[in-house]
Amino acid sequence: MQIYLPIADLPVNVFLVLGMGLAVGYISGMFGIGGGFLMTPLLIFIGISPAVAVATVSSHIAASSFTGAISYWRRRALDIALAMMLLSAGIVGSATGVWLFTELRALDQLDLMIGLSYVTLLTVVGGMMIYESVQAILRTRRGMPATLRRPGSHTWFHGLPFKLRFKRSKIYVSAIPVWAIGFVIGFVGAIMGIGGGFLLVPMLIYFLRVPTATVIGTSMVLTLVTMASATVMHAATNHLVDAVLALILMIGGVIGAQFGARMGQKMRGERLRLLLGLLVFAVGCRFAFELVVQPDDFYSLRYVMGG
Amino acid sequence: MRQLTIMLTLVTIACGVGPAPAAERLVVSLSNHRVAVTSNFVGEELVLFGTIEPEPSTSALRPPYDLVVTVTGPRQTLRTRRKQRMLGIWVNVDSREFVRAPSYLAVLSNRPVNTIAGQDTLRRLQIGLDNFLLPQRIGADVADTVRDDPFRRAFVRLETQQGLYRESATAVTFLTPTVFRAAIPMPAAVPTGNYTIDVELFTGGLLVARTNSALEVIKTGFEQYVADAARDYGLVYGMATTAMALIIGWFASIVFARD
């Protein structure tokens, strides 16, 4: 069944888009990531212009992260205090990112910057996660405790001042690394046009030692707020949010996210981290492939303006 | 900008060069002057019918005739970029901006345009994808380039791949030596706006008559409403979309709540 999208200006198959929403929603619910880094390329692939895709995906992510956040909230697997703390720093980071975005676009090398940052971030983060979770799984096999929460495993930033206690996550850390992470997520998110969940989850796990259980719900709250505000900003400035496309994606997305969240709760922490690591790494390799392999077509078109 | 204006003026003058003292007159009619894009729009084909009639003063027709129909969509500016390998990775190193190029361009004829008239005539009348004026911005200047300029070729090829540019030597059919029909394909991704249709009649390689028509592609009903809302009330539209996201998210969690 074809339906015409009023802002994207082209017809799409409803069931195809619904299916894409479901699949990405499932992954996002399971790992507590927005899934924008998966959905945006998919939409571009079916012919939607990159600008409309990025703007519309933000509203889809808002919907699926909201439903995910609610279900983690019910299971008390969500740390509001930590989320708020990260968010306040994230806003500052986003503003800095938007500024740099504009500067880079003037130099006409934004695509390359985005491509390179995707490759670097995704492969490094993905690789680290795979390595760590495989180690953890092997440890469990040998009958040792899987978690890394040993009293002696503190790193240098645990000695920093302004310590705060986050009860739900059972951590006691300095505000400085929390702020730094929030800032980095906001900054990178603005530059790369993503929610940053796939970066936030490993950062919270490895740097702050937040337990895998609360990390996902917390990351979803952060994603929800950033993506909801991104939707409003995109709609107000670029007029590129396609409400019809968003609606189809959302319906698929929220259903997928519900099942994904359930699956994520059932799975063991280190398995979940391994899967997310593999996913992130695979997407990183795909971007690397695109940069290195000779393209089919050396030329591409970009819309500048009408009239 | 000034160069562009001058150039466009020159183009207008060039186009204004009328046909030779004519014995023929074109009468055309379009099946539909308005293409309505609705929620189930998947493309459409318009049909242009026409006849060749003798001018009342002279009565002799001079078949066989050749006919070229050029349909031009609303203008837009696009950038064509070229990738090149640098330090092992593929980077956009060079680009050209095509200024006010048609978003849709169809050249429909009864046989290949380069067999209908001489190269000079086709170039002057801008008939055929190769001869259509596609001004590029090169530095501060705006000018059309030679037809085998690599950026121009890539631009036309990419637009053709999307179904927005086409040249068909079979789209015009002569039902009798003086009655013809032309099929104008409107793909699903056709841009909205005003289109012009130029019809040019040739005999023996000479332009003998021309006429034009127009059509518009518009969104209607719900699509129009959404597009207007997004453009005119961006902030409210964005907040409404976000609210929709939250409601759907909340609704799903109720539907799926088992505990």
- The enclosing domain of B44 has a CATH number of 2.60.40.1930
CB atoms A292 and B222 under 8 Å: no
Residues of chain B contacting residue A250, judged by C-beta atoms under 8 Å apart = 244-245, 248-249
Q: Are B77 and A232 within 8 A, CB to CB?
A: no
B105 and B180 assigned to the same domain: yes
The overall average pLDDT reported for chain A is 79
| Other C-beta atoms lying within 10 Å of the C-beta of residue A251 | 21
Selection from B191, A10, A11, A9 nearest residue A1 by Cα: A11
Our CA dihedral for A291, A292, A293, A294, rounded to 10 degrees, sits at 80
Query: Does some domain include residue A154?
Result: yes
Could you say which residues from 78 to 107 on chain B have a Cβ atom under 8 Å away from some Cβ of chain A? Answer: 78-85, 88-92, 95, 97, 100
The residue-averaged pLDDT of A223-241 equals 80
What residues contact A107, with CB distance under 8 A and at least 6 apart? Answer: none
Of A49 and B245, which is predicted with more confidence?
B245
Q: Following DSSP, what letter does each residue of A122-141 receive, concatenated?
A: HHHHHHHHHHHHHHHHHHHH
Q: Which residue has the higher pLDDT, B21 or B205?
A: B205
Place of tokens 């300029």: B149
Scan for tokens 């939707």, then name that residue. Answer: A231
Phi-psi region of A30 (alpha: psi -120 to 50; beta: other; left: phi over 0): alpha
Between CA B249 and CA A67 the distance in angstroms is 4
Domain range for A199 is 2-292
Q: Identify which has the larger pLDDT, A167 or A78.
A: A78
Minimal-distance CA residue of chain B relative to A74: B259
Per-residue pLDDT, A147: 53
Instruction: Please report the pLDDT score of residue B16 as a whole number.
Output: 43
Does residue B193 sit in the same domain as residue B251? no
From A117's Cα to the closest Cα of chain B, the distance in A is 13
The phi and psi torsions of B25 (rounded to 5 degrees) equal -135, 140
Q: Domain count of chain B?
A: 2
Q: Where are the alpha helices (DSSP H) in chain A?
A: 14-31, 36-45, 50-74, 80-106, 110-141, 175-192, 197-206, 212-237, 243-266, 269-292
In a domain, A244, yes or no: yes
Return the higher-pLDDT residue of A109 and A64. Answer: A64
The verdict on a CB contact (< 8 Å) between A235 and B238 is yes
Q: Which residues of B touch A251 (CB under 8 A)?
A: 248
Instruction: Tell me what pLDDT residue B71 has.
Output: 94
Same structural domain for residues B52 and B66? yes
Q: How many residues does chain B have?
A: 259
Interface test with B, best of A58, A65, A67 (most B CBs within 10 A): A67
The more confident residue out of B125 and A201 is: B125
Looking at the fold, whether B138 and B249 belong to one and the same domain comes out as no
- Are B46 and B133 in the same domain? yes
Residue A242: name the closest of A40, A14, A48, A89 by CA. A48
Q: Which of A57, A66, A255 to mutate to test the interface with B (most CBs of B within 10 A)?
A: A66
- Cα of A80 to nearest chain B Cα, Å: 18
Shared-domain flag, residues B208 and B229: no
Q: Is A118 on the interface with B (CB under 8 A)?
A: no
| Ranges A13-27, B124-138, B141-155, B181-195: which has the least confidence | B141-155
Beta-carbon neighbour count of residue A159 at 10 Å? Answer: 9
* CB-count burial class (<10 Å; 0-12, 13-18, 19+) for B176: exposed
Task: Report if residue A78 sits inside a domain.
Answer: yes
Euclidean distance between CA atoms B187 and A282, whole angstroms: 36
pLDDT for A158 equals 62
How does pLDDT run across B44-71, given as a tens digit for each residue? 899 999 999 887 776 677 778 899 999 9
Is residue A283, in this structure, part of any structural domain at all?
yes
**Cβ A62–B259 below 8 Å, yes or no?**
no
Domain span at B68: 2-219
B225 and B133 part of one domain:
no
Among chain B residues, the shortest Cα distance to A10 is held by B189
Contact B83 A295 (CB under 8 A): yes
B132 and B32, same structural domain? yes
Contact A228 B41 (CB under 8 A): no
Give the minimum alpha-carbon distance from B222 to chain A in angstroms, rounded to a whole number: 8
CA angle at residue B227 from A192 to B213, to 5 degrees?
120
3-class state of residue A206 by DSSP: helix
Let me know if residue A303 belongs to a domain. no
Contacts of B237 in chain A (CB under 8 A): 235, 239, 241, 243
Token output for A81:
């205090």
Instruction: Please identify which residue in the block is written with the tokens 């796939």.
Output: A198
Judge if B234 and B143 occupy the same domain. Answer: no
Please name which of A72, A41, A50 lies closest in space to residue A223, comparing C-alpha atoms: A72
Query: Are the Cβ atoms of A295 and B90 closer than 8 angstroms?
Result: yes
A302 in a structural domain: no
From chain A residues 161-190, the ones with a CB under 8 A of any chain B CB are: none
pLDDT digits (tens, 9 = 90+) for A42-52: 888 888 877 78
Most A CBs within 10 Å, among B248, B251, B258, B259, to test the A interface:
B248
Q: Residue B127: which H helix or E strand, with range?
A: none
Average pLDDT over residues A119-137: 85
Chain A residue numbers touching B257 (CB-CB < 8 A): 71, 74
Element (H, E) at B252: helix B234-255
Interface of B with A in 184-203 (CB under 8 A): 188-189, 191-192
Number of domains comprising chain A: 1
Parallel, antiparallel, or unpaired: how do β-strands B75-86 and B89-102 relate? antiparallel
Provide the shortest C-alpha distance from residue A265 to chain B (in Å).
Answer: 14
ipTM value greater than 0.85: no
Q: Give me the residues paired with residue B213 across strands.
A: B197
B134 shares its domain with B257? no
Task: Indicate whether A305 belongs to any domain.
Answer: no
Q: List all residues of chain A from 205 to 244 with a beta carbon under 8 Å from chain B.
A: 228, 231-237, 239-241, 243-244
> In this predicted structure, what is the pLDDT of residue B3?
53
Select from B241, B254, B256 the residue whose CB has the most chain A CBs within 10 Å, as the one to mutate to test that interface. Answer: B241
Distance CA A72, CA A40 (A): 25
Q: Is the pLDDT of residue B210 over 50?
A: yes
Same-domain status, B243 and B176? no
B148 and B229, same structural domain? no
